[in-house]
Structure 1
Amino acid sequence: MSRINLVDPVSATGASAELLGEIRSAFGVAPNMFRAVANSPAALASMWGSFGALGKGRLGAKLGEQIAVAVADRNDCHYCLAAHTALGRKAGATAEEMTAAQHGKSADPKTAAALTFAQKLVEARGQVSDVDVRTLRDAGFDDEDVVEIIAHVALNLFTNYINVALAVPVDFPGVKLVREAA
């Protein structure tokens, strides 16, 4: 049970109603996470705007979703792990690629570098080294990409914290966290 009211898109008003309408158009429904965040129109606008902006970024949807599951697993966020695994599959990732991403792994060296960096960023709370950034560059990422990877991590920290702190009910097919599967 959620620790916060899940705003009903049908009875929502103002900016939250407008944004929930956009979200329903994109997903076919208003997922519970967005319904929880809709309690604050400003927070919902921030979250939805960030998803939209990063969705148009250079990294692509598949890598964005792989980063999301790597971050979700580190933060024990069942909701985001389930949602981003489903979205990653829609973006063209295989089930095996999404499972590997939970572990911060990929058969593609460039993707592996991004996932390793994302996990390090979370674990070290941003305190990465020159070597960590240079490793991304050596894998083929430029400054724009590095900043975009960090933006994906930051957005996913926001969504993880919302879902974990507020116990938002998962409304996507469940996926086991790496630590649970071990």
Structure 2
Amino acid sequence: MSIIVTPEPGEATGEVAEIYAEDIADMGYVPSHTRVMATNPEAYRAWENLIGAIARPMDKRRYELITLAAAGALRSKACRLAHGKKSLQYISEDELVRIARDYHDAGLSAAEVAMMDFAEKLSTDSAAMTDADSTTLREYGFTDREIVDIALAAAARNYYSRALHALGVEVDVPSGLSEPLRSALVDTL
């Protein structure tokens, strides 16, 4: 549990109240990560703008796979759960359980596995990355723009997940996740 004191949704004012209202409209509640990160509403809005600039032009399935790989490498239960729920819009639950348990053995295309390997390596040992890592993506048909977007999506997840860890943010389990999916998303970390 975070030591950061946050207002209750009914007590928030100004930009924080607007941020809370957006989550209530979207999810029906204000997750712990929003409450803590909205302590700096300017940075929170900048984060939203950054993620929008990265994710908007990307294929949504691809973005979620990258995010799940980075969050898994970081052992971020909060991000795995939140994006596991979001991923259900683009990935069936059965496939998502397999991906969460071991994306190498989930029936993904070789290009998707390479992309997730790249996101995982960026999240665990980015200093060891070489041109060969990007070249592998190019060999699977990714354009320069797509390679940059993959790197940015994984790096952005590193920023957010690491901030949540550092601030001791409580992990919320989104409603509507089946027990097998919830287990696959977090028990493998």
Q: Is the pair's TM-score, using the shorter chain for normalization, greater than 0.5?
A: yes
RMSD: 2.2
- Report whether the alignment pairs 1:64 with 2:74: no
1:4 alignment counterpart? 4
Deviations 1:3-60 (A, max 9, x none): 32234333222222223333333333222211110100122112222333333122x2
Please give the alpha-carbon distance, in whole angstroms, between the structure 1 residues aligned to 2:100 and 2:143: 21
Please give the alpha-carbon distance, in whole angstroms, between the structure 2 residues aligned to 1:25 and 1:55: 21
SS in 1 for 2:16: helix
Please give the alpha-carbon distance, in whole angstroms, between the structure 2 residues aligned to 1:7 and 1:127: 42
Distance 1:47 1:169, change over 3 A: same
Q: How does 1:11-160 map to 2 (within 5 A)?
A: 11-58=11-58, 60-97=59-96, 99-100=98-99, 103-105=102-104, 107-160=108-161
- Report whether the alignment pairs 1:161 with 2:162: yes
Deviations 1:109-158 (A, max 9, x none): 12111101111111222542111111101111111111111111122112
Residues 4 and 36, structure 2, Cα contact 8 Å, conserved in 1: yes
Report the CA distance between 1:65 and its aligned residue: 1.6
Deviations 1:59-98 (A, max 9, x none): x222212212211121121111111111111233434335
> Letter of the aligned partner of 2:15 in structure 1?
A
Paired-residue identity, %: 28
Please give the alpha-carbon distance, in whole angstroms, between the structure 1 residues aligned to 2:2 and 2:94: 29
SS in 1 for 2:88: helix
Q: Which moved more, 1:119-128 or 1:140-149?
A: 119-128
Distance 1:155 1:7, change over 3 A: farther
Distance 1:118 1:93, change over 3 A: farther
TM score, norm. by length of structure 2: 0.82
Unaligned runs of 5+ in 1: none
Residues 55 and 153, structure 2, Cα contact 8 Å, conserved in 1: no
Please give the alpha-carbon distance, in whole angstroms, between the structure 1 residues aligned to 2:143 and 2:100: 21
Report the CA distance between 1:101 and its aligned residue: 5.0
> Letter of the aligned partner of 1:178 in structure 2?
T
SS in 2 for 1:125: helix
Please give the alpha-carbon distance, in whole angstroms, between the structure 2 residues aligned to 1:51 and 1:7: 25
SS in 1 for 2:126: coil
Residues 37 and 44, structure 2, Cα contact 8 Å, conserved in 1: yes
Unaligned runs of 5+ in 2: 175-181
Residues 69 and 98, structure 1, Cα contact 8 Å, conserved in 2: no
